[in-house]
């Protein structure tokens, strides 16, 4: 069984906090059961709540009630949810949401919080190719298994870059300063008629001043470049083969042009306007 590259807690975080926005099933189920806890607190006229008081609580206080060993499994889960969600209550009132308890507010209390990130709107832009987005998300999360990390763990015999054979295979090297990567990016610069810097390309794209149409094209190009550079790195590791930089850059541009033609309205002058 492989070790996950990103922890489940971070995967389940919202995209604005650097996650994938996947709901953690345990926390969501517990938040859903919390609706029954809320009913016992604030809906005494419900028939089910009256039955619970008659059969289980029997005149006691709901916050202090402790289930015995011979009751149903389902009721024990309700009591468990009450204990887990207890920090969200004050004097029987749900304090996490002024409108009262909701499953969403219960889940938000249970999930682990992380610092917001600035790159999520770029990576998850609707115009980009999904498989490119996933790799760029892992790059932003520093979750790829580069040789710098593998060598430090004693897994790889060295930390040399697989694309150029020079320098340590780190994020800054392989996606910014590697000789092979720079040749690909320089070719893309020529094809797009823009100057691509030796820096974080997503950050550069965000601050680049141009039309919205061109920015969409550049964003797709940058994410495709990251994806294909990582693909070539893995190809070099497995097969010992590398595509020539000029061929790779042409392939990237062809892929992006074909994709954009189906996703955005192209001006009358043609697809070149996206990059000129």
Three-state secondary structure string covering the chain = CCCCCCCHHHHCCCHHHCCCCCCCHHHHHHHHHHHHHHHHHHCCCCHHHHHHHHHHHCCCCHHHCCCCCCCCHHHHHHHHHHHHCHHHEECCEECCCCCCCCHHHHHHHHCCCCCCCCCHHHHCCCCCCHHHHHHHHHHHCCCCCCHHHHHHCCCCCCCECCCCCCCECCHHHHHHHCHHHHHHHHHHHHHHCCCCCCCCHHHHHHHCCCCHHHHHHHHHHHHHHHHHHHHHHHHHHHHCCCCCHHHHHHHHHHHHHHHHHHHCCCCCCCHHHHCC
- b/e sequence 42-54, b meaning 16+ C-beta within 10 Å: eeeeeeebeebbe
Q: What is the per-residue pLDDT for 268? A: 45
Q: How confident is the model at residue 96 (pLDDT cuts 50, 70, 90)?
A: very high
> Would you state the pLDDT for residue 276?
46
Question: Residues 43-56: what's their mean pLDDT?
Answer: 93
Counting residues of the chain whose pLDDT is more than 90, the rounded percentage is 63
pLDDT of residue 274: 58
Work out the pLDDT band at 87, boundaries 50, 70, 90: very high
What pLDDT is recorded for position 70? Answer: 82
Query: For 121-144, how does the pLDDT look when each residue is reduced to its tens digit (9 = 90+)?
Result: 999 998 899 999 999 999 999 999
pLDDT band with cut points at 50, 70 and 90 for residue 160: very high
For residues 199-228, average pLDDT: 87
With 70 as the cut, is the pLDDT of residue 68 above it?
yes
Alpha carbons 184 and 175: distance in angstroms, whole number: 10
Give the pLDDT band (50/70/90) at residue 16.
very high
Q: Does pTM surpass 0.75?
A: yes
Rounded CA separation 190/186 (Å)? 6
- pLDDT grade, residue 18 (50/70/90)? very high
Least confident window among 44-58, 118-132, 144-158, 252-266:
252-266
The least confident of 38-42, 74-78, 187-191 is 187-191
Give the residues across from 170 on adjacent strands. Answer: none
pLDDT at 267: 54
**What are the residue boundaries of the structural domains of the chain, listed by start?**
25-110, 120-274
């Amino acid at each position: 069984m492989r070790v996950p590259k990103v922890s489940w807690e971070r995967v389940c975080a919202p995209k604005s906090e650097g996650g994938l926005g996947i709901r953690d099933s345990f926390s969501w189920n517990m938040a859903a059961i919390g609706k029954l806890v809320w009913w016992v607190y604030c809906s005494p006229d419900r028939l089910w709540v009256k039955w619970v008081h008659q059969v289980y609580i029997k005149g006691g206080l709901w916050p202090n009630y402790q289930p015995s060993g011979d009751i149903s499994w389902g009721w024990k889960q309700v009591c468990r949810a009450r204990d887990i969600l207890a920090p969200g209550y004050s004097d029987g009132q749900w304090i996490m949401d002024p409108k009262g308890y909701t499953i969403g507010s219960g889940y938000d209390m249970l999930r682990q919080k992380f610092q917001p990130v600035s790159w999520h709107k770029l990576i998850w832009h609707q115009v980009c190719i999904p498989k490119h987005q996933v790799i760029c998300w892992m790059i932003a999360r520093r979750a790829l298994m580069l040789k710098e990390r593998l060598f430090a763990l004693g897994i790889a015999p060295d930390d040399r870059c697989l694309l150029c054979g020079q320098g340590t295979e780190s994020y800054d090297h392989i996606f910014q300063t590697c000789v092979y990567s720079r040749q690909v990016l320089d070719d893309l610069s020529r094809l797009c008629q823009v100057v691509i810097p030796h820096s974080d390309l997503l950050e550069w794209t965000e601050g680049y001043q141009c039309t919205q149409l061109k920015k969409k094209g550049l964003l797709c190009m940058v994410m495709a470049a990251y994806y294909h550079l990582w693909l070539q790195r893995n190809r070099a590791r497995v097969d010992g083969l590398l595509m020539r930089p000029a061929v790779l850059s042409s392939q990237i541009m062809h892929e992006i042009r074909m994709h954009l033609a189906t996703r955005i309205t192209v001006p009358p002058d043609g697809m070149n306007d996206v990059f000129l």
